[in-house]
A and B are shown apart, each in its own frame.
Chain A
């Protein structure tokens, strides 16, 4: 089985989207005979020749991106616009999406996923599912046990996909946990993210005391 992937993250090969895809890939390639092809950076605007070629010549394609302002990044929207000329040109394509976000709840990604499913119908392909995952900001500073669990699930999902050619709904469900948080969980998660992730980065840049700066108007 051959799987193609377009990584739409503006951070390209160095971002969290790439890291998660890598674990999926490792699982997928454990199955003998499988092959994996990835475009890790979409910078060929506005033509996107390589990406269009991949779209036209794949049987199975994942388009992956981080959530930006509740939807796909503008650069990914640019890519989707370039696909307008490809409508109906690869009806055999099974199109999937991977959407990850920094917010702890996976629920934030569901609205973009609904758009992706509709986009697939406009392109005349088969929608073969969306891998949705919250809690992905600061993967590098999260406790290793938590991060390992996420990586292991991406690996399992890739492996299972490599066997069946389908995204396993049970693993998708586990990956998506938590879809929502209880108020008790929110009260635990927020200080962890604010103090460990953001304050840590602000301190590293000597910018903690400027954190609440209002460069466009102190009185606004």
Chain B
């Protein structure tokens, strides 16, 4: 199983050690796991030009690490978005990375269960999962809102959100949940 962790934490975040522990645990169980430390990558925010859909289909016109994000995302079985919660949502580093994977889908629309969504460009996309570090003001409603939004994001990829876990969950349980999926 190919596991990708997109780590959207800022330097010194407590999520870092948790990610390392989870990576060790899934590796020991024989799975391939890779981490992209987003803060060390160079990618611009998406500017919504749609050139990746209508000019250079499937490729962003920005020549930065956006291509690497797309490539790694697509070659994974599951992508874990690991991020601290800031103002009730995963970090801007994480959101900017997600915005840059839109070249992986097609602009055409289609009917998906009675709702309009974009068509797939590739046959298969990874499952999504969230590993989140609470902030002082995080409450249950924040978690519910995030879960709903990422279920929608996964639906756009014809994938699913496999789990949302907080960093205070046990490493072993999180690792087992990744592998189960």
Q: Which residues of A are in contact with B by a Cβ distance under 8 Å? A: 9-11, 15, 66, 68-75, 77-78, 80-81, 83-84, 103-105, 107-108, 111-112, 114-115, 118-119, 122, 180-181, 183, 186-187, 189-190, 193-194, 198, 201-202, 204-205, 207, 210-217, 220
**Least distance between B98 CB and chain A CB atoms (Å):** 5
Which 8 A/B pairs are nearest by Cβ-Cβ distance?
A74-B96, A74-B95, A201-B54, A78-B92, A77-B92, A70-B152, A215-B58, A75-B45
9 further A-B contacts with Cβ under 8 Å, apart from A68-B99, A69-B98, are A11-B47, A70-B150, A72-B95, A73-B46, A84-B87, A114-B145, A198-B53, A213-B59, A214-B121
**CA gap between A16 and B105 in the complex, in Å:** 22
The one of B48, B71, B104 that contacts A68, using a Cβ cutoff of 8 Å: B48
Q: Find out whether the CB atom of B137 lies under 8 angstroms from the CB atom of A122.
A: yes
Q: Find out whether the CB atom of B152 lies under 8 angstroms from the CB atom of A108.
A: yes
B 68-101 binary contact with A (CB < 8 Å = 1; else 0): 0011001100000000001111011101111101
Q: Find out whether the CB atom of B54 lies under 8 angstroms from the CB atom of A194.
A: no
**Least distance between B84 CB and chain A CB atoms (Å):** 10
**CA gap between A111 and B152 in the complex, in Å:** 9
Q: Which residues of the other chain, B, contact A112 by a CB distance below 8 angstroms?
A: 149
Q: Which residues of the other chain, B, contact A73 by a CB distance below 8 angstroms?
A: 45-46, 48, 95, 99
Q: Which residues of the other chain, A, contact B93 by a CB distance below 8 angstroms?
A: 74
Q: Find out whether the CB atom of A216 lies under 8 angstroms from the CB atom of B91.
A: no
Q: Considering only CB atoms, which chain B residue lies closest to A182 in the complex? A: B114
Q: Find out whether the CB atom of B74 lies under 8 angstroms from the CB atom of A220.
A: yes
In the complex, 30 of the A-B residue pairs with CB atoms within 8 angstroms, ordered by the A residue number, are A10-B48, A68-B46, A68-B99, A69-B156, A70-B150, A73-B48, A74-B93, A74-B95, A74-B96, A74-B98, A75-B92, A75-B96, A78-B45, A103-B117, A104-B109, A105-B115, A105-B116, A108-B152, A114-B148, A115-B146, A118-B142, A119-B88, A186-B111, A186-B116, A190-B111, A198-B54, A211-B108, A212-B121, A213-B57, A216-B70
Q: Find out whether the CB atom of A77 lies under 8 angstroms from the CB atom of B46.
A: no
Q: Which residues of the other chain, B, contact A108 by a CB distance below 8 angstroms?
A: 152
**CA gap between A41 and B151 in the complex, in Å:** 30
Q: Find out whether the CB atom of A212 lies under 8 angstroms from the CB atom of B111.
A: no
Q: Which residues of the other chain, B, contact A193 by a CB distance below 8 angstroms?
A: 109
- B33-60 interface with A by 8 A CB criterion: 45-50, 53-59
Q: Find out whether the CB atom of A190 lies under 8 angstroms from the CB atom of B55.
A: no
**Least distance between B83 CB and chain A CB atoms (Å):** 11
**CA gap between A42 and B125 in the complex, in Å:** 32
